[in-house]
Structure 1
Amino acid sequence: MQIDDVDRRILRHLMADPSQSNADLAERAGLTTATCWRRIEKMQAEGVLQGRQAIINWRALGWEVEVSLRFTLDKTNPRSFDQFLEAARQVPEVIEIQTFLGQTDVRLNVIARDMAHYQQIYRSQILSLPHIQETDALMLISKVKDSTELPL
């Protein structure tokens, strides 16, 4: 889908405050409420705008540790990726799963309340995931930039 400057303006205002009402969004974008709503519906239908979501700060809820685990899988079994991903989805503390081409096959982002909790998750749930050939852990120290905004 091609978007124009008006669509970009709507998207910029939505990224800045996704909880605003359609009337407020239309006013900020310099449109009538009906026009703004039609453009949003069109962008949703085309898959450009996939919805609005609540972003929860899990650190504020007591989850203090975030670890990025990188895995190389044993690819001698043709179902190794599928079986690994299926099992990883069942670990509640895994908040993100990514697959790659290259030396790393899969990356899991894991959160825990503290280091003792992480150690328990790692030993009881992560190490039992199928088809692990190699793993590497990176503990998050700080996020320098964490944005979902696009340069529109």
Structure 2
Amino acid sequence: MTEQLSRQDIKILGILQHDASKTSTEIADIVGMSQSPCWRRIHRVESEGFVQKRVAILNRQKLGMDVVAFTTINLTTAGRQNLLEFEAAVRNFDEVVECYTMTGTWDYMLKIIVRDIRSYENFVRDRLLLLPMIGEIHSHIAVTEIKNSTELPLHTQL
């Protein structure tokens, strides 16, 4: 990755991931270059896929979404069809904000965000457990959020 990106590119990416609302002029001032070359660099890193998309990060607590659950799942069997069907179903659950295949004890880990514990229970009972390939499910409810960041550790690339 670092062979394709200069130090300035990485600095620009760091600024964008911290605050994507900054203009190319503001970013150019921060990295010490003129606006036009900075805009071209921003356009290049976006067109080459280093920036997937620009989004607004919402405050889940202000929106009344107080429960974050990390749910581990084992399937009944890990056959290809079960994997594909489970993954397709999970993509359609708005409550699931992240899903990972895992090494070790669990097949999958889901990060689920809902309004309250009753909403979580309803989601698990009425939607998740209706998937026939689920063999085992364990819930881990987050109590206190210590760190929650979408920023990648770009400083390690410099």
Same fold (TM over 0.5): yes
C-alpha root-mean-square deviation of aligned residues, in Å?
1.7
1:41-90: per-residue Cα shift (whole Å, max 9, x none)? 22123222223211112221011111111011122643001111122222
Match of 1:91 in 2: 93
Match of 1:68 in 2: 70
Find out whether 1:38 has 2:40 as its counterpart: yes
Unaligned runs of 5+ in 1: none
After TM superposition, the score normalised by the length of structure 1 is 0.89
Match of 1:107 in 2: 109
Which residue of 2, 13, 30 maps to 1:11?
A: 13
1:22-41: per-residue Cα shift (whole Å, max 9, x none)? 11111111111110011112
Unaligned runs of 5+ in 2: none
Retained in 1: the 8 A contact 2:100–2:108? yes
Q: Secondary structure at the match of 2:73?
A: strand
Retained in 2: the 8 A contact 1:44–1:50? yes
Match of 2:128 in 1: 126
Match of 1:151 in 2: 154
Retained in 2: the 8 A contact 1:65–1:113? yes
Q: Read off the aligned partner of 2:52 and give its amino acid letter.
A: Q
Distance, in Å, in 1 between the alignment partners of 2:92 and 2:149 is: 27
Number of aligned pairs?
A: 152
Distance, in Å, in 1 between the alignment partners of 2:85 and 2:51 is: 32
**Displacement after TM superposition at 1:6 (Å):** 1.4
Retained in 1: the 8 A contact 2:76–2:133? yes
